[in-house]
Chain A
Amino acid sequence: DADVTQTPRNRITKTGKRIMLECSQTKGHDRMYWYRQDPGLGLQLIYYSFDVKDINKGEISDGYSVSRQAQAKFSLSLESAIPNQTALYFCATSDTASHSEQFFGPGTRLTVL
């Protein structure tokens, strides 16, 4: 079984709809992240959480919100989706070591019409 899972894997929705993307991990890591990836751009950090009570905005948090329901679960919400939020979304986890790698989920491809 995958260590980091994301649901749904693909989603098509309409402008103005509320969407939730979910992420679960079995690695026991405290740190979790949400990124979006657009063609020709690097991964951009939306939100990150260093533990259940610690949530921080990343570089592109406008239009998004998150919830860390448990150590293993971190969800991303688009309160009112807009077309320029069409992208590939990745959840990632890492442990607390400063040089630790990030482990990514398989991604969610979101299309907002």
Chain B
Amino acid sequence: RKEVEQDPGPFNVPEGATVAFNCTYSNSASQSFFWYRQDCRKEPKLLMSVYSSGNEDGRFTAQLNRASQYISLLIRDSKLSDSATYLCVVKLYTGGFKTIFGAGTRLFVKA
């Protein structure tokens, strides 16, 4: 089982739609959680950190469920520019910090 698993998609949605991605992680010692965005053939960039209480940044909302070991990303009012791959990232302490990247979920937003 992969340490961090994501639905690869692709998710094809119309502009204005709401779309949600989930990510599960296997190690209960995981401590920090992030969503990164990666455009085609570009480098990943931090979209948002995920806090235990959940957090929102404009149209983006991230949630953490430690009991079920998953994090989610909700995008409201999708824009064409939201088309990208979204990477779930988990950091855990194993004597030193280890960062694990999910393989990503592809999103296509269409007019």
Chain A positions within 8 Å of B, measured between CB atoms, are 35, 40-43, 45, 56, 88, 90, 98-99, 101-102, 104-107, 109
Contacts and interface: CB of A to CB of B under 8 A. Distances in A.
A40 B104 CA distance: 8
Size bracket of the B interface = 20 to 34
B44 A98 contact: no
Query: Dominant SS at the B interface?
Result: strand
B33 to A, nearest CB: 9
Contacts, number: 44
A22 to B, nearest CB: 16
B74 interface: no
A21 B46 CA distance: 24
A98 B91 contact: yes
A45 B32 CA distance: 18
Interface in B42-87: 42-46, 49, 87
A106 B43 contact: yes
